[in-house]
Structure formats: structure tokens, C-alpha cells
Structure 1
Amino acid sequence: MAALTHDRQFDPQHGTPVTVAPGIVRVTAHNPSPMTFHGTNTYLIGDDEVAIVDPGPALDQHVEALRQAIAGRPVSHILVTHTHADHSGAVPAVQRLVDAPTVGEGPHRSGRALREGEASGLDSSGDRSFTPDIVVGHGDRLVAGGRTVEVIATPGHTANHVAFALPDEGLLFSGDHVMIWSTTIVAPPDGVMVDYMASLDRLLSRGDRRYLPGHGGAVHDPQAYVSALKDHRQKREEAIVRALSDGPLPIPEMVRKIYVALDPALRRAAGLSLLAHLEDLVERGTVEADPAVTFDATYRLVGPWAPPSS
């Protein structure tokens, strides 16, 4: 298995329409952060008529950039991969500009039932105001921007995450599920690691030739990259088991042992990602939590580790 290699060479050209494929334009919002890289990518699909993929954050300058890129053309649909505010926050403002229905899997929700006293892991980023006008599920198809669009359910990062594929062109808008600049945050209870891994397998079963993600540049060899992502996640599990082999640890100590030279701004997110792995490891009988499976618990090794079967 090839090592996971990220590509961070990306010029966002904030606010400028950038052609990334015939009839497909990217407009990147100016909302850079440790979680969003250079900003959120919005895509316009089509020529005479367009569809919007992820209208992006509620920033006036980004909405204005989209208005200029649309250039008065009719908009058939607003496709939303998932309900983090940097992807769906601009929906109300964009709908004031264009008469188009929103398309998505459903409203924001946790990936599993909340435990007593638990709040959403990435609560501040969840857009709980969004409800799609058109609810879609895995395998659904529609014509948007003059192109056939197929819906691919990819829960894991959020429960309602979907990718949108253009099957006639071998392209897939992967949202935050697969990105070339970084691995994806899977933060319980919004995110669930077992769902994320199953969604990677779902993408591996397909033949898409290029991914256009929600942040950063295109993924040009998606089969190899998704395989490396899956292997990387399994190695992260191994690293957790190794860290616990010397004795019980809380999540912040595991973060310090496992993540080298981590940006301090990402420590909480890294800890939530470890929690997603730990939830699965506890379910499989490899790890035990004291007193219960939470971010603040102490974890200890109680059984052998083996990679989960696909």
C-alpha cells in the first residue's frame, strides 16, 4: 500500500471563477482556517443553465462573487453535500439571488444518539437552519445544470454527507469526505468512524476518475488515494493501540503521543478524531473506557487489535 501523500499546492484565487473541467467552474470563498485550508470551494456546473454545488459560507463577498460568476444565467438547483456552515451557510443569501430549490440528504443531525450530558462535537459549525427542498438518497439521479447528477451517500464526516457524481464525465464532488490537502475530521457525535470507513469502501467500488473536493485541489487518482486514506485510518488505530500498550491514557495524552508537531489549533479536532476511533475500538472489544466513552474518559487496552473487515 502506498503511503498517504497530501498535496497542499493550491492557488485558491479567492472570488475568481476558475475553470476546473469543461463546463465546471470553481469559486473559492475567502474563509481560510486550520479546518478549511484556503477556503471553501463552491462549484458551478453547466453552461447556459447552471447548478451550484455547496454555496459556501455566509460571506457577502463570496455571495457577490457567485452572483458575478452566474452572470444572470438560470440556476436549476443548489446542491449541498452536508450541513457544516462553511458549505451551506450561504444558502439563504443565494436563494434570494436565484430561484432554485436546494438538494440534500436532510437536515443536520448527530451520527449517533447523544449520550447523557453530551453536546455535538463540532456544534458551532453545524448549520441547523438548513432543510433541503428536495430530499435525496443514495443512488438517486437528477438533471442539474444540464448534466446528469448521481447522489452517493457518504456519511461519516456528518450523518447527512453526500457526494454528487457526474457519471457521464467520471467526476465526483466529494465535499469534505475526501480531500487531497488533508485527512477529514470525523468528530463524534456528528461524525462516526465506522460510517466514514464504509463510505470510503463505497467510493472504492466506483470508477470515478477525478474528485473535486470542498477544500483544496482536485484528487486526480482517487482510487489510489482513497485506498491510502483507508490504510492511514487503520494505521491510526494501530497507533492508538500502541499508545495504550504502556498503560491507560486520556485522549489529550494520546494526542500528544500520536500527533507530531500538531498545530495547537487542531488539538481538539485531533482528539475528537481519536474519540471516533476509540468508539469503534470499544465496540469491538479492544479498548475499554473509564468511566464511559467520552472525550474526558481514560482508555485502556483490554483485547487484541485486528483491522475491521470491509
Structure 2
Amino acid sequence: MAVITPRPAATLILCRDRPGGPAPSTDDPGGIEVLLVQRTHQAVFMPGVFVFPGGAVDPGDDAHDLHLHVSGLAAAEANGLLEVEGGGLGYLTAAVRECFEEAGILLGRDLRRTQPRANGCAYLSHESHALAAQCQALREQMLAGAVTMPELCKRLSICLPLDQIAYLSRWITPPGPPRRFDTRFFVAKAPVDQRASHDGHETIDHLWIGPGDAIERNQRGDLSLGLPTRASLEALAGFATTDELMNHLHRARSGVRTDLGPQRSRSRPATGRQGQQIIDPSHPAYAEVEKLDPGRQGIAQCEILPGCMTMMSPTIGRITAPNPGIMTGPGTNSYIIGRGRDRAVIDPGPAIDAHLEAILAAVGSQGGQLRWILVTHTHRDHSPGAARLKAATGATVLGMEAPADDYQDPSFTPDATLAHGERIDGDDFSLKAIHTPGHASNHICYLHEQDGVLFSGDHIMQGSTVVVNPPDGDMAAYMASLRDLKRENALYIAPGHGFLMDQPNRVIDRLIAHRQKREDKVITALTSAAGIDEQTLVAKVYDDVPSAVHPLAQRSMLAHLYKLESEARVIRGADGWRLLKPW
């Protein structure tokens, strides 16, 4: 599968002082607010998510005729600020353009005014209804492609004061999503007299909110945020005023690196395909980078590279299969256990030649011999490689037989099944089998008892919840298995897809809370009607995700309904699902 090259992009975080000063919030001592816009549910990239205004850098964003309308920052300075060989100004002007198109706010200095207005703002003002209407008309023409940014500057008699914009951070979309971006995040003080408005096409809602308040709502599940957005909010949460924030960030212009604001001590350098970058605690690789590179040398990878061995510990290595996708993320993880003669593989993954060859090479290094092939479950991205590894090595295959449904790997034939709590002991490791039905009836997690690492297969995934698909998937069993895993007191979770995760019990608590919230929405929807069919119900229960995802979401919702039915709380009749009694 071809690797998608990330497209240059820019995002602008608009900040303003909170009306009335700092809020009496438990989590947000700061007194600033930021502007978030909600992407349409039909968007290919991050549908329905609240983000900062931004988008791809267009060729015209770095055109010479636009350079004539910028001030405060030369091209060479912009290149140096962003550490690029060329095109630095294009990132900044793209941020300004995208903010105007998506949020209706234009960072343009009014050239017709020789002095700032009484409120101290030199930006274009919407105090005049005529000027506000002109700006809106030009915005619509820009969205239609009828007006360019240089033409906009001429008509409004403005320049773009790029020295008023501060550079915050860089984020690169990992492999897997249908679109990837190499995005620079910028921060600017919002114009006083301009009102935000979503465009109704790419953005369908907007709000001003304190960074801490947004994080709290995200934790409750009330506000959907992408990881870069969440990380940026955490970096901004500690500032009392926009002036304090901007002064802090602008110090980067004099050589003081401040990429992630007041929480810089929590940021870490890491290495990706595009070189070294700074990652925040909300980055998916953060826990892994923190564990593998405690000295902050930037040597740990923040992107998963298929076919490359990553050592999680002296006795745990990971090789990811080249099968990225919506359901598999960056690909299926295969784990190689042991550094002595005895070696084990957890989840051999798909039967892809290059992947299996990489596993065999890793196993055979330094005189190792593959003795056990362990499978967490028999979905087709996890177990098909087992037969070929066994044929090549004679290793014992351990797992549970595949249930009879179309999602399973019918070729999987285990030599034995480990009982719940049973162990296998190698020269320098022991693995404990933990039966965890729910996502799949034959699902097993494995605990590396020396390192405290739980290999969770698809029972716990990074960055998303798993699909629980009846009849083999069982929501009641899934929830019970999650609670059982908390008793293992693991130190890390090594998932079937994605990076190592720390604080396992906290991860599990969030999954349980998320599933309970979905169940509560099912009950709320059924309370409002005498009987509801599943198609109507899924639109109510999953009203916060794109409709394109509803067929898949409907399977997990059905698992919730079967759980509630087993508890005598709902019943399915001729007119659909209904509550048996009020709850």
C-alpha cells in the first residue's frame, strides 16, 4: 500500500481575554478563550470534530503578489522560524486565509487608519455594518474561488501583519487516515470588533471557550477534539491573559524555543519520517516515547513504521504489519517476546510475506528459537500468519478456535488453548493468559508478568473504542472483561494497533465510562418514544459521529440493546425497541 505524503497545512488559534476575567473553574485558572469550529460530519478528515480554523496550504498562499500585502515578517525570517528551506510565508498566510474562510475573522491591518482605535486594536473593524457586509460578501466569493487573497487585501485596503502571529507547534498526521497533513499551528490575538461565524459548509458550528473548560468537556465526552487540538489547549491553559501568552510565544523570535508554551517541561523530542519534532502528552506516542527515551534525546519514534522492530523493553519487541486502514490504524502489531533461546510471538497478523519475514528475522536473532505463537483472537488481521510461522519453525500455536462467522479466520487451528490464568514460561519471561470475551468470544489478553505489560489485542485499542459486533460480540461480557483487567494492575498496555499506553486502569475507566454513556443515550432515546427501529435509534445514539459510520456503530448499539434486554430493561417488539419500565 502506497504511503500518503502529508500535505502542508496551517492552523490559526485565535485567543481573546475571557470577558470578566478568569473563570472560577476547577481546571482552568487562565483568563483566555480560544475559538473552535466544528467540522462537518461529511468531512473525509476528522468529521464532526471541533478544531481550530485551518487547512491545506494552497499554491497562491506563497505567491509573490500576496507577499506585497504582508508586513512585519520577511520570507527569510518565516523560513527560519519554521525551519524550512522555503515557503515559510505561505504557512502563515494560509493560516490567515483559512481563518477568514472558516470562521469569518480576518487578521488584516486597516491601512486607512494611521492610529489604533480607542480600544487599541489596529485590525480591520466590523463596527460599520457596510464594511461587515462587504467582508462577508468577499468571504463568500473567496469560498467560491472568485476572489484571491491579494484581491481581498486590495479591496479592503489591508495588509497581513504576520509579526502579530506566533508559532506554536508542528503536527504530522500518522499513516492510516485517508488524508495526511503536515500542519503548523500558530497563535494570534483575535480582533476586538470582528464576530466569528462558521461558513455552513466546511464548518457547521463555533464557540469561544477557555482551554481548560474545553479539555474538561472533552474528558466528559461532551466535546470531540482531535489530539493536536487537545495538546494545544493543554499548552495554552495556564495563561492569565492573551498578552502574557503572546509575549511568551514571541520570545521564540529571539531564539528562545517555546513550542508548547508553559507546559514545555512535559513535551518531549521524538523522531518521525520528517525528522525530529516535539510531542505533547496528548500525542498517541507520548507514553511510549517517555518510556523508551527517558533522557529526552529524541531517539524514540513517534510514528509507527511497518516492518521495523521497536524494542519496548529488553524482552519485548514490536513489528507492525503493512496493513494500515480505518479499522487497523497504522497496522496490526505483532510482538516478539524474549531475548534468550525461547521466543514467543503474540498475534502474527496477516499472512503478508514481508511481515512474516521480518518476524522470523527478529525471532532468529542472537540464536533465538520460536517456541510459541499466541493469538489474541481470530479476526482476519490478527491470526492468518500463524500457520506459516508454524510451518517455518514448528512452534506451538496457542489460542481459541474461531467462531463460525464471516469476520473470523477459518484457517486458524490452535494446537492447544490456554486456560484462564494459565502461564507459559520462557527463559526470561512468563506470559499469563486472561480470557476477555466481548469484542470477540474467543479473545485472550496476555500479561508479561516481569514487565507488567498487558497485550490487549483488540479488547483495548488506542485512540478509539472497539466495535462489539453481535452475535459473537457481547457488550455485557466486554464490560465485565474490562473490569477484570483492572485487577491485573498492569503498568502498560500494548494494543493490537497503535502505540504503548500507560496508566492502564485510567484507560479502562475511560472506556467503561464511554460505553456507559452510549448505553445511557440508548435509554434516553427509548424513553422519548413508544418503539424505535434500529436505524432511527442509531441516529439518536450516535448523533455525534458522521452518518457514514452509523452502519458500523449500529452493531455496537445492538450489543448494548442485547445487554439491556438480558437485564430485562428493554424489549424488541413489532414496532421496534422499547423500554420495559422507566429508568
Scaled by the length of structure 2, the TM-score of the pair is: 0.47
1:28 has 2:320 as partner: yes
How far does residue 263 in structure 1 lie from its aligned partner after superposition? 5.0
1:175 has 2:462 as partner: no
- Mean Cα displacement is larger for which, 250-259 or 25-34? 250-259
* Deviations 1:106-127, CA, capped at 9 Å, x for gaps: 20126xxxxxxxxx4xx2x201
Q: Give 2:432's aligned amino acid.
A: E
* Deviations 1:243-285, CA, capped at 9 Å, x for gaps: 2222122222222222245355643221110000000111222
Residue 19 of structure 1: aligned partner? 311
Asked if structure 1 preserves the Cα contact closer than 8 Å seen for 2:568 and 2:580, the reply is yes
Asked if structure 1 preserves the Cα contact closer than 8 Å seen for 2:315 and 2:428, the reply is no
1:273 has 2:556 as partner: yes
The structure with the greater share of residues assigned to helix is 2
How far does residue 234 in structure 1 lie from its aligned partner after superposition? 1.1
Q: For 2:543 and 2:358, locate their aligned partners in 1 and report how far apart those are by CA, in whole Å.
A: 38
Residue 493 of structure 2: aligned partner? 211
How far does residue 290 in structure 1 lie from its aligned partner after superposition? 2.2
1:64 has 2:357 as partner: yes
Asked if structure 2 preserves the Cα contact closer than 8 Å seen for 1:243 and 1:257, the reply is yes
Q: For 1:31 and 1:263, locate their aligned partners in 2 and report how far apart those are by CA, in whole Å.
A: 24
How far does residue 60 in structure 1 lie from its aligned partner after superposition? 1.8
Residue 284 of structure 2: aligned partner? 9
Q: Give 1:18's aligned amino acid.
A: T
Of the candidates 434, 447, 452, which is equivalent to residue 165 of structure 1?
A: 447
RMSD over aligned Cα, in angstroms? Answer: 2.2
Q: Give 1:101's aligned amino acid.
A: T
Of the candidates 41, 62, 73, which is equivalent to residue 333 of structure 2?
A: 41
How far does residue 62 in structure 1 lie from its aligned partner after superposition? 1.4
Q: For 2:426 and 2:521, locate their aligned partners in 1 and report how far apart those are by CA, in whole Å.
A: 44
1:93 has 2:371 as partner: no
Q: For 2:518 and 2:429, locate their aligned partners in 1 and report how far apart those are by CA, in whole Å.
A: 39
Residue 191 of structure 1: aligned partner? 473
Asked if structure 2 preserves the Cα contact closer than 8 Å seen for 1:3 and 1:228, the reply is no
| Secondary structure, aligned partner of 2:382 | helix
Q: For 2:381 and 2:469, locate their aligned partners in 1 and report how far apart those are by CA, in whole Å.
A: 16
Question: Mind listing any 5+ residue stretches in structure 2 that lack a counterpart?
Answer: 1-215, 228-281, 286-302
| Secondary structure, aligned partner of 1:87 | coil
Asked if structure 1 preserves the Cα contact closer than 8 Å seen for 2:315 and 2:429, the reply is no
Change (3 A) 1:264 1:68: farther
Residue 576 of structure 2: aligned partner? 298
Scaled by the length of structure 1, the TM-score of the pair is: 0.86
- Greater relative contact order (CA < 8 Å, ≥ 6 in sequence): 1
Change (3 A) 1:273 1:144: farther
* Deviations 1:149-182, CA, capped at 9 Å, x for gaps: 1111111111111111112221111111112221
Asked if structure 2 preserves the Cα contact closer than 8 Å seen for 1:77 and 1:144, the reply is no
Q: For 2:362 and 2:382, locate their aligned partners in 1 and report how far apart those are by CA, in whole Å.
A: 18
Q: For 1:254 and 1:33, locate their aligned partners in 2 and report how far apart those are by CA, in whole Å.
A: 28
- Name the count of aligned residue pairs: 287
- Mean Cα displacement is larger for which, 272-281 or 129-138? 129-138
Identity, in percent, stands at 38
1:251 has 2:534 as partner: yes
Q: For 1:277 and 1:107, locate their aligned partners in 2 and report how far apart those are by CA, in whole Å.
A: 25
Q: For 1:144 and 1:266, locate their aligned partners in 2 and report how far apart those are by CA, in whole Å.
A: 43
Q: For 1:204 and 1:186, locate their aligned partners in 2 and report how far apart those are by CA, in whole Å.
A: 20
Of the candidates 239, 261, 283, which is equivalent to residue 521 of structure 2?
A: 239
